[in-house]
Amino acid sequence: MKLSGWGRHPVVDAGQACPTGESDALALLASLRDDQSLIPRGLGRSYGDSSLAPLVLDTGNMDHLLAFDTDSGLLRCEAGVSLATLLQVFVPRGWFPAVTPGTKFVTVGGAIASDVHGKNHHVDGSFSDHVTEMRVATPEHGVVTCSRSEHPELFHATAGGMGLTGLILDATIRLKRIQSAAVIETTLKAANLQEALDLFEAHRSATYSVAWIDCLTAGTAMGRSIISLGEHADQGALVAHGSQKIAVPVDLPGALLNPLSIRAFNTLYYQRVRRKTSTARRHYDPCFYPLDGIANWNRMYGRRGFVQYQLALPQDAGVAGLREVLTRIVQSGRGSFLAVLKAFGDGNANPLSFPIRGYTLALDFKLGAGVLELLDELDAIVIDHGGRLYLTKDARMSAATFRRCYPAWEAFAEVRRRYGADRVFHSQQSRRLEI
């Protein structure tokens, strides 16, 4: 069948295996011929080719909750459980994922493999920082239970390891207490990039913070932003989200998103917020997952699909580095529809985890002539400043770029070899990046 990531580029022909339980999955791994390899796939929300391979192991039927400790908030569940399920089951009881990305349609296994981050990275770290233990099926050593103290090298390589160290069977993750399903959201306006970064700094103690940034406007207003800060409300109903309301039923014509329409959108989006500061109380669903309300929103970019580009720059590259990146994007006129800026806290010990202390910028680019060349130029700027690119969004970086972004890649490759995963676990991305 035809398979792609969320960006709908590239598209590959893939066989799909859907084991209905652990024993099925282990039997499948044992049955592979020497020349066969596969990659696990959850809900297919990584954007590029990291969940694509000639054979894909779909974890959708391995979606059971296994145990929950109501005192500690520790949940053990299979890798195919989605965050949407976690929210549905646990929000009514007053628990919330410690870290959540911008969509709830990801699996726990995928969240670990991408070591996803959320709007609270600067205070709470990334998803795997709240994972205490995993069971991973490896070709060489069978099913291995790993944690920070037991087989720590496998634990750290698997967290952020893009599914390349083995099949995550189940994981124990920590949920956090909430008193209400509502979030108190404060919106701030920043007239330019420096002001945006200053606001992030001034609000370091806010639990959640993220900015929408205009990537089309040059000059003194370059980097004008709308910053959202969030705190879980102290009181209110504990009601989980409902079902999706609307969908994009067909591929929209790609030409709908052009420099003119994107510029109009960006200006409207910025001007829509009138006051310098405003506060609102909203349900977690529109607050954390604004695009989840529209099924298949990725069709908005037309048939050819799009690439996401997410970079992180270290703190000391700061405003100068971001300004250089933004200047190049503004010049290109290809600025993106929704660009997101966020201040990261400290990174962790995982060799392939993306976040590093500093700033991250995420952009969508509709595929078209000149886009890939622009991204190559941006790669050079990012590397110059000691930054890196997010593997979960990537569909096109070179092996050389990957190695400069992730200096610990050799340690990762070593763990892969030790557990025999380099024989069995490969994605189109891992082949391209020569991991």
Partner 1 sequence: MDNVLIVGATSAMAAAVARRLAATGASLALLARNADKLDTLAADLEVRGAARVSRHTFDALAPDEHAAAIEAAFDALGQVDLALVCHGSLPDQQACQDDAGTALRELAINGGSAVGVLTHIASRMERQGSGTIAAITSVAGDRGRQSNYLYGAAKGMVSRFLQGLRNRLYASGVNVIDIKPGFVDTPMTADFDKGPLWAAPDKVAADIIRAVEKGRHTVYTPWFWRYIMLVIRAIPDPVFRRLKL
Which residues form the interface with partner 1 (CB under 8 A)? 1, 16, 18, 20-23, 61, 64-68, 75, 78, 89
Task: Name which of 68 and 297 has its Cβ closer to partner 1.
Answer: 68
CA–CA dist 286, 183 (Å, integer): 10
Strands 388-389 and 306-314, sheet pairing: antiparallel
Sign of torsion over alpha carbons 18, 146, 116, 235 = positive
- Convert 279-307 to b/e letters by CB count within 10 Å (16 or more is b): eeeebbbebbbeebbebebbbbbbeebbb
Q: Which residue is associated with the tokens 């971001």? A: 322
DSSP 178-227: -S-SEEEEEEEEESSHHHHHHHHHHTTTSSEEEEEE-SS--GGGTT-EEE
Task: Name which of 22 and 251 has its Cβ closer to partner 1.
Answer: 22
User: Are residues 48 and 5 in contact, defined by beta-carbon separation less than 8 angstroms?
Assistant: yes
Going edge to edge, which strands form the sheet with 15-17?
A: 15-17, 55-58, 39-41
Helix (H) or strand (E) holding 298: none
Task: Please state the closest distance from residue 403 (CB atom) to partner 1, in A.
Answer: 38
Task: Name which of 93 and 431 has its Cβ closer to partner 1.
Answer: 93
Helix (H) or strand (E) holding 233: none
Task: Name which of 16 and 277 has its Cβ closer to partner 1.
Answer: 16
Task: Name which of 95 and 288 has its Cβ closer to partner 1.
Answer: 95
Q: Which residue is associated with the tokens 């952020």? A: 160
Task: Name which of 89 and 349 has its Cβ closer to partner 1.
Answer: 89
Helix (H) or strand (E) holding 303: none
Task: Name which of 84 and 159 has its Cβ closer to partner 1.
Answer: 84
Task: Name which of 63 and 140 has its Cβ closer to partner 1.
Answer: 63
Q: Which residue is associated with the tokens 């529809």? A: 337
Task: Please state the closest distance from residue 61 (CB atom) to partner 1, in A.
Answer: 6
Task: Please state the closest distance from residue 67 (CB atom) to partner 1, in A.
Answer: 7
Packing angle of the helix pair 193-202, 318-332 (nearest 10 deg): 140
Q: Which residue is associated with the tokens 């202390």? A: 357
What are the CA-CA distances from residue 415 to residues 161, 348, 390 (Å)?
Answer: 10, 17, 21
CA–CA dist 71, 200 (Å, integer): 34
Task: Please state the closest distance from residue 136 (CB atom) to partner 1, in A.
Answer: 18
Task: Name which of 74 and 411 has its Cβ closer to partner 1.
Answer: 74
Task: Please state the closest distance from residue 85 (CB atom) to partner 1, in A.
Answer: 9
Task: Please state the closest distance from residue 66 (CB atom) to partner 1, in A.
Answer: 5
Task: Please state the closest distance from residue 394 (CB atom) to partner 1, in A.
Answer: 29
Beta carbons within 8 Å of 253's beta carbon, 6+ residues apart? 302
Task: Please state the closest distance from residue 74 (CB atom) to partner 1, in A.
Answer: 12
Task: Please state the closest distance from residue 310 (CB atom) to partner 1, in A.
Answer: 31
User: What does the block give as tokens for 251?
Assistant: 């591929």
Task: Name which of 23 and 220 has its Cβ closer to partner 1.
Answer: 23
Nearest to 256 by CA among 306, 310, 326, 218: 306
Task: Please state the closest distance from residue 88 (CB atom) to partner 1, in A.
Answer: 8
